[in-house]
A and B are shown apart, each in its own frame.
Chain A
Amino acid sequence: MIEAGDNNSADLCAVAPMGLLAELTHRCPLQCPYCSNPTELERSSGELSTEDWARVFKEAGELGILQTHLSGGEPTVRKDLEEILKAAVDAGIYTNLITAGVLLSRERLEGLVDIGLDHVQLSVQHVDAKLADKIAGFKGGYSKKLELAKWVKELGLPLTVNSPMHRHNVEYLEEIIEFAVKLGAERLEVAHIQYYGWAFENRHTLIPTKEQVYRNADTVDEARERLKGIMSIDFVVPDYYAVRPKPCMGGWGSSFMTISPTGKVLPCHAAASIKGLEFENVKDRHLRDIWLHSSSFNKYRGTDYLPDPCKSCEFREVDFGGCRCQAFMFTGDAKNTDPACSKSSFHKDLLEIAERESKLEPKEFLYRKFTKQQQPAE
């Protein structure tokens, strides 16, 4: 934390970030076709060292970060995960491990718990083992995940089950809810896929119909009431069927940052998709300076830069104009209103695409993987 007596502490803390997504590596045994990593994956040879991450977490704690998500790729691929976790714990940060769960042994998990891991978020692609393994592109993954979920509960840690929703599991929401309850999960995330990066490439095969999504919303409403105090459920609809845009990241550069495997500091994990933005690296500059002064964070901070219809919109301070990445993808300019908003002139196109593609015959998945040039070193 910023020490008392530091003249700038109030100013700094008024805008200090609270959450940090730490993408420790882009390597992953799974190949989910909707992976949220960028389509241009970063190679292992350029990954930050143990010492880099330790320094980053110290800086993050001083800057005011309260929670971190140790993610990837698959964070447990890193042999130094223990040391990285310890640095975050020592900085007083609440730690969340986001894992596919197929590489962890019970012993290693126990070690992580001893260091101070607070929470595990486990991805579950489907409740049907065969379909789950097909979506993940990894045989035998499903049964390993079940085992991990059991260990997490045995070791007394809270568990979030994360089942990204799309056309291939949209009809199984009730089963997924029951499954998570049986595992003893405290939380279930059933956010529909958003179509960026890999998911964008697979959109025609993944996007559900509007009716399916609306039925999901009803199912969640009913389950939330029934499971009050037992399991909480986070549900998100695909932007394509939204009326109001999501307040992406709670506003660009307002409370959240992502650090990529090679150390790039991003306002959101998809920000690299916006052409023309330059990102600074934790190896070159203190995290606080990057947060406060880098051009990428300052460019879309606040709402002053927003043109109409956002400029004169009553929801401007509620949703901050939505997602910059999606605005860039559809309008060519990240400043514009997110087309997920019904006030955007591009909104009709979004809905039209979704309705058309959701009725197409699904194609083979384009699995997430490194290209030949990007093959991670063994």
Chain B
Amino acid sequence: MTKERLIVETNTTPALPRFVKLRHDKGRDRWIMLAPERILTPDPIAVEVLNLCDGVKTVGEISGHLAEIYNAPTEVIEKDIKTMLQDLADKGFLIS
């Protein structure tokens, strides 16, 4: 099998792989991502993005949706989201 690096583009439909679990850590009142030998603590905005990563919506759609909610330019939001998701992809925690 040859795996390739996922490059996050506007039309990418991102999702978390089955083995990465996004859940609320009730005791510490924060969101966490559980992965092999790793515990990540995404900030509230990242959590909002990750909850929209369902493998159906594109990065462009997710950005548009959040741009509307936060009344911010889509290009700015999309740039930030791409950076964040590319970082996750490079850690092996994002699929498409």
Contacts and interface: CB of A to CB of B under 8 A. Distances in A.
Nearest to A18: B39
A118 interface: yes
B79 interface: no
Interface in A137-175: 153, 156-158, 160
A1 B26 contact: yes
Interface string B11-50: 0000001110101011110001011110100000000000
B89 A1 contact: no
A191 to B, nearest CB: 11
Interface residues of A, number: 32
A187 B3 CA distance: 13
A223 to B, nearest CB: 13
Given A16-B28, A64-B27, A119-B19, A229 B90 contact: yes
A9 B27 contact: yes
Contacts of B39: 18, 66-67
A52 B46 CA distance: 39
A17 to B, nearest CB: 11
A94 B92 CA distance: 17
Interface residues of B, number: 24
Contacts of B36: 96, 118-119, 121, 158, 160, 186-187
Contacts of A232: 91-92
B1 interface: yes
A94 B17 contact: no
A126 B11 CA distance: 42
B4 A230 contact: yes
B37 A231 contact: no
Contact of A156 (B5, B18, B27, B91): B18
A79 B36 CA distance: 24
B19 A157 contact: yes
A51 B65 CA distance: 49
B6 interface: yes
A184 interface: yes
A230 B39 CA distance: 19
Interface string A46-58: 0000000000000
Nearest to A184: B1
Contact of A64 (B23, B28, B35, B90): B28
Nearest to A14: B28
Given A16-B27, A229-B89, A232-B91, A67 B34 contact: yes
Contacts of B26: 1-2, 4
A13 B37 contact: no
A285 interface: no
A157 B90 CA distance: 18
Interface string A177-190: 00001001011000
B7 to A, nearest CB: 8
Nearest to B26: A1
A64 B17 CA distance: 24
A228 B34 contact: no
Interface string A210-253: 00000000000000000011111010000000000000000000
Interface string A8-20: 0100110010100
A13 B21 contact: no
B25 to A, nearest CB: 7
A228 B5 contact: yes
A94 B27 contact: no
B19 A231 contact: no
Given A119-B36, A160-B36, A184-B1, A228 B19 contact: no
Given A96-B37, A229-B6, 19 more contacts: A4-B26, A16-B28, A18-B39, A92-B23, A118-B21, A118-B34, A119-B36, A119-B37, A153-B1, A158-B19, A160-B36, A184-B3, A186-B19, A229-B89, A229-B91, A230-B92, A232-B91, A232-B92, A234-B37
Q: Which 8 A-B pairs have the closest CB atoms?
A: A229-B5, A1-B26, A1-B27, A94-B34, A119-B36, A158-B19, A13-B27, A64-B27
27 contacts: A1-B25, A12-B27, A16-B27, A64-B28, A67-B34, A67-B39, A92-B23, A96-B36, A96-B37, A118-B21, A118-B34, A119-B19, A119-B36, A119-B37, A121-B37, A157-B19, A158-B17, A158-B36, A186-B19, A187-B36, A229-B5, A229-B91, A229-B92, A230-B5, A230-B92, A231-B3, A231-B92
